[in-house]
Structure 1
Amino acid sequence: MKTLPIAIAICLLLPACKGDDPNAAAQAAQQQVQAQEQAAEAMAKQFEEAVAAQNWPLAKAHGDILQIRYPSSAAAVRIKPALDGIKAKAEVAQQEKRLAALWTYGDEAVKGGSQLSASLYSQEPVDTDGSGSRPVRLIFRDHPDWGRSSYLVLEAGDFDCYAGCKLKVIADGKTHVLPGSRPKTDEAIAMFIDDHKALWKLVKNAKQLSIEFPTKAVGKKTAEFEVGGLDATQLPKWN
């Protein structure tokens, strides 16, 4: 058959039969590298903008993604020396945000003006009556008629402090003794820390605070508080 040699000859003349053009393949590879470098530079720009804004968590996110997607790019190599420091700052920022979220602030309209408050719950629940662990709440209050006060509130049991008591308060490892008193009221299971000025000063300058208090049912108990996220400006007259 004469058609077979002719078909072979035609095939030899076609690029598809000869194989891919090496120059075209190299050009395509170069274009891909350029596209990746451009994408990496765009991501690096986002990283640098976040750094300039001191948005450390966002900067960390952009930096991490850049290192994962384009690890050998010029942009990834350029920002890598700064990335460890950015990660450390991001962790600090996230911790500060977590601590700030532990606090709750109130601004309630009452007779004579506004009642302001700042409060947070204990880091771990405490068993104050033998029936199981429950949160203990620390509250700072500024009332137009009653003035300023600081106190603990229980959800169960009672404080053994009706005649007054001494409370061991530890702020960042340093021990202090503050007076306490349990008012004769059924409105809440509350005990005042009478030296509210001293307690406020400790809380403002501490990261960790513990208060040991006497209970009627189970003796002395301790509540731990992560106080480092306090926004003291919420109670302006206290500062």
Structure 2
Amino acid sequence: MKPLILGALCVVALAACSNPEAERQQQEAAAAQERARREADADGIARLYDAAVTASEWEKARVHGAALLDQFPGSAAASRIEPGFAEVKEKAEAARELRRMQGLWSYNQVAVGSKGVQRSAMIQGKERVDVDGTGPKVVQLVFRDHPEWKRHAYLVLQTGDFAKACYASCQVTVTVDDQAPRRMAAYRPDTDEAIAMFITDNRGLWRLAGKARVVRIEFPVKAGGTRTAVFETGGLDGSQMPAGWD
């Protein structure tokens, strides 16, 4: 009996193997299923990409777009997004850079008794500056709105000092991005509480900082000559200060 069963199975197997058309159809059906699965997976990532683009979440869009093009090249979804993906990558890079520059600013609010609230916006220079021969130190740019002392913009040094002439009045040179340098009046208060020099046109400097990507301020120092501090101001949040600054 067993030899008969085994023989029958062999006949069936040989019949299947001897039918190339059936085998071809099976292979095509399997390939079609695989293509459909890949297209469905690609469409899922494409929906995430489209949602990120619609919401202007460019960094998310770049991640989803790159995954789609890398994992499912040649898919209908990949072919659809590919022409515009270069622009999305540019916008993602711009968004990343803006986020980086926004993180350079520090904002603070402090109650001043019953007089109100002091608000300030502060940023450190891109690179440290040696103002007195003791080595590079941080230079800060501060905008302050005080309920009693009103509005000010000033530079702060960690060591050294500004030129003695600035105790009366001097000038700093301000360069915004690639624009022509401009001179702005400044003065160093005659006090030892802080090594600070105030730029007289605080509102003008604030406006420049808010519109610029980079602000360079050249200032005279006690050690002789001038030094330059570079501030990447492009991430300034103007809403952090009271109305009237803008």
Q: TM-score scaled to structure 2, two decimals?
A: 0.87
SS of match in other structure, 2:236? coil
Q: Does 1:14 align with 2:13?
A: yes
CA contact (8 A) 1:126 1:134 kept: yes
Count of equivalent residues: 236
Map 1:136-151; keep pairs closer than 5 Å. 136-151=139-154
Amino acid in structure 1 at the alignment position of 2:72:
Y
Structure 1 unaligned blocks of 5 or more? none
Q: 1:154 aligns with which of 157, 182, 186?
A: 157
The worse-fitting range, judged by mean Cα deviation, of 85-94 and 65-74 is 85-94
Supply the distance in 1 between the matched residues of 2:12 and 2:49 (Cα, whole angstroms). 52
Amino acid in structure 2 at the alignment position of 1:119:
M
SS of match in other structure, 2:209? helix
Map 1:71-220; keep pairs closer than 5 Å. 71-111=73-113, 112-160=115-163, 161-172=166-177, 173-220=179-226
Deviation at 1:147, TM superposition (A): 0.6
Supply the distance in 1 between the matched residues of 2:57 and 2:118 (Cα, whole angstroms). 34
Supply the distance in 1 between the matched residues of 2:109 and 2:123 (Cα, whole angstroms). 15
Structure 2 unaligned blocks of 5 or more? none
Per-residue CA deviations over 1:138-179 (Å, capped at 9, x if unaligned) read: 000000010100100011111112232111111122211111
SS of match in other structure, 1:174? coil
Deviation at 1:197, TM superposition (A): 2.1
Deviation at 1:9, TM superposition (A): 8.2
Question: Percent identity among equivalent residues?
Answer: 43
Supply the distance in 2 between the matched residues of 1:210 and 1:139 (Cα, whole angstroms). 14
The worse-fitting range, judged by mean Cα deviation, of 61-70 and 182-191 is 182-191
Change in CA separation of 1:12 and 1:156 when aligned onto 2, cut-off 3 Å: farther
Q: Does 1:30 align with 2:36?
A: no
The worse-fitting range, judged by mean Cα deviation, of 169-178 and 137-146 is 169-178
Deviation at 1:11, TM superposition (A): 4.1
Q: TM-score scaled to structure 1, two decimals?
A: 0.90
CA contact (8 A) 1:162 1:182 kept: yes
Supply the distance in 1 between the matched residues of 2:87 and 2:211 (Cα, whole angstroms). 26
- Runs of 4+, deviation exceeding 6 Å: 6-9
The worse-fitting range, judged by mean Cα deviation, of 151-160 and 25-34 is 25-34
